[in-house]
Amino acid sequence: MPVKERFSISHLADLAGVSHGTMRRHLVSGGAEPEPGGRYALGSVLKALIADPGDQRAERTKLIQAQREKIEVQTDRAKRELIPADEFYRAYEGIFIALRQSIISFNMPDADKSELLGILRKDVLEAPEIPASA
C-alpha cells in the first residue's frame, strides 16, 4: 500500500537530525526527484538514502585525491620560495662585501670612499627588521 504523504527537505532533515543542505545532497546524489510542490514521496526518499554509496565513495575519493595534490603543489611551491635564514644572510653579506670592494676600488678620494662606506654602514645598521611572516 503506497504512502501518500509527501515531505519537505526541511522536515526530512529534522527527522534525520541533519542539516537541510546535507539532506538535499543525499536526495540529489541518490536520484530523488521532488514532486510538483517541491515535496518528496517517502518511497523516493528511502531509495535515495539507501542508494549504493559506491558512486559517492568514488567521488569522495576523487575529491580527497584532488585536495591532496593541491596541498602537495602548494608545499612544493613553498619549498622553492623559502630558503634557510643563514643561507639568505650569507648571500646578503656577499652582496655588501662586493659593494664595499667596489666602492674601495673606485677612482675617487679616500674621504669620499669613507663617506660612501659610512652611509652604507648606517643604512644597513638602521634598516628595519624583516618580518618573520614575509
**pLDDT (tens digit per residue) in 17-36:** 989 888 888 888 888 888 88
Q: Which residues pair with 6 in a beta bridge?
A: 41
Q: What are phi and psi of 70, to 5 degrees?
A: -60, -45
C-alpha separations of 114 from 36, 87, 93, 122 in Å: 89, 29, 19, 12
pLDDT in tens, 41-58: 888 888 888 876 666 677
pLDDT band at 134 (very low <50, low <70, confident <90, very high): very low
User: 64: exposed, middle or buried (C-beta count within 10 Å: 0-12, 13-18, 19+)?
Assistant: exposed
Q: What is the pLDDT of residues 94-117, one digit of tens each?
A: 888 898 899 889 898 999 989 988
Q: CB neighbours (10 Å) of residue 99?
A: 14
The three cell numbers of residue 91 are 648571500
Q: How far apart are CA 16 and CA 118, in angstroms?
A: 76
